[in-house]
A and B are shown apart, each in its own frame.
Chain A
């Protein structure tokens, strides 16, 4: 599974980084940087789903790898 960010929808609320610090870092302006191209190890899939649900603008999505 992979995290995909819509950079236009992202308004730097930062909840994703709070809930998933292992995979999401914030740049100096508060926007998320996804580690490892957004790849989600199976152990973190539940947290990733929580991060996706928590985003106020639904900018983060969980997708199957292409």
Chain B
């Protein structure tokens, strides 16, 4: 199949090119005017995506071509599920993309479904998302899509947009993760092979189908080609979502957000279940999945939060772990009891604890890791463990019973209260 060449591929921003040029939301005609019409595709698209090296932007960075191939090999007619929920409270990229370029996402859904032979595609957002009417409007502008697209609203819970939770919600109405195997690509919605992909991943598929794998690889790195949508927040002058080539360093990413607004001690990368990194270690770190993994971290959903140096890292970690504990689906013992115990230990450290609390915390982190049905407890453990390393000196004085003054300084990072009042349906 040939790629569309009569519309020039974007240079610089790709997904946010329309927004960068016009500062306006792209309706269908603006979208087609910029990127061209939906290209005809068939199964060969899977090979193109594979050659392009696209990796999932939902947090796992799994090679999308391989996932597509696995779903295609499923035997039964597959189904496409697009995750646009922005499950991470501090991440806004799915919103940004669905707001300014919804048709790229919808194109991607249709193209993936066509290549897989799927008859329907479902786009998931959180219930009550103010974005929903605009997405509906974008869907209504489109006629002649060969695939039926549906918008589904999930309960606004942290784990509701986890892959198996999404599938569980679509099957049973309960947005809680399930035990795997089988994974959704083998047996998901209504027992069919299900492609669960982030909206950013699908939008990139819409561009690869038009401009080809070589163009896609012109940005980013060899192992992680393309661009990423990074949500930069915390102590920066101009927080928000920025499209950056993969491999951009943390300091350049912070610079693109107006630079730091005050001295920064550490950054949180990936998500609330990600890692703290000391600013000195992080500044020149390229933002790629492999570089983050090499320092024990995870690129996650491309979230970057700058923690002011005058804020206590232990206190901030306590707030976040409290939230994560409250957002447990309450299905697995190590998660339901482990996370709240870990949160309590951190609280005791935050207000000045004894050294045995620190030992107990370390022990519990080792015990809880890897023993839930999903990766939720692992994220909380990873965050807490990274805090013990990055804020080690501070942790030590706290454990000696001398909490720092920084526990009362607000970080400007919005950590919601977890688990109150909301259900799973």
Contacts and interface: CB of A to CB of B under 8 A. Distances in A.
Contacts of B332: 7-8, 10, 31
A38 to B, nearest CB: 12
Given A12-B333, A29-B337, A31-B334, A7 B179 contact: yes
A30 B333 contact: yes
B8 interface: no
B371 A8 contact: no
B178 A8 contact: yes
B338 interface: yes
A7 B338 contact: no
Task: Point out which of A11, A12, A30, A31 has the most chain B C-beta atoms below 10 A from its C-beta.
Answer: A31
B331 interface: yes
Interface in A1-55: 6-12, 27-31, 33
Q: Which size bracket describes the interface of A in this complex?
A: 10 to 19
A31 B373 contact: no
Nearest to B372: A7
A10 B334 CA distance: 10
A27 B179 contact: no
Interface in B349-387: 367, 371-373
B367 A33 contact: yes
A9 B178 CA distance: 10
A49 B240 CA distance: 55
Contacts of B331: 7-8
Contacts, number: 38
Decide if the interface of chain A is mainly helix, strand, loop or mixed.
loop
Interface core residue of B179, B332, B333, B372 (most chain A CB under 10 Å): B333
B371 A33 contact: yes
Contact of B367 (A7, A10, A11, A27): A27
Interface residues of B, number: 13
Nearest to A6: B179
A29 B332 CA distance: 11
A30 B335 CA distance: 13
Nearest to A37: B370
A6 B371 CA distance: 9
Interface string B142-179: 00000000000000000000000000000000000011
A8 B336 CA distance: 11
B179 A29 contact: no
A31 B371 CA distance: 9
Contacts of A6: 179, 373
* Highest count of chain B CB atoms <10 Å: which of A8, A9, A28: A8
A47 to B, nearest CB: 22
A45 to B, nearest CB: 22
A28 B367 CA distance: 9
Nearest to A34: B371
A4 to B, nearest CB: 10
Contacts of A7: 179, 331-335, 371-373
Interface string B117-140: 000000000000000000000000
Contact of A8 (B337, B338, B367, B373): B373
Nearest to A8: B331
B333 A29 contact: yes
B334 A8 contact: no
Nearest to B335: A7
A7 B178 CA distance: 10
Given A27-B367, A29-B338, A9 B333 contact: no
A7 B372 CA distance: 6
Nearest to A9: B179
A30 B331 CA distance: 14
A30 to B, nearest CB: 7
Contacts of B371: 7, 31, 33
Interface of B: 178-179, 331-335, 337-338, 367, 371-373
11 contacts: A7-B179, A7-B373, A8-B373, A11-B333, A27-B334, A27-B338, A29-B333, A29-B334, A29-B338, A31-B334, A33-B371
Given A7-B334, A10-B333, 15 more contacts: A6-B373, A7-B179, A7-B331, A7-B335, A7-B373, A8-B331, A8-B332, A10-B332, A12-B333, A27-B333, A27-B334, A29-B333, A29-B338, A31-B337, A31-B371
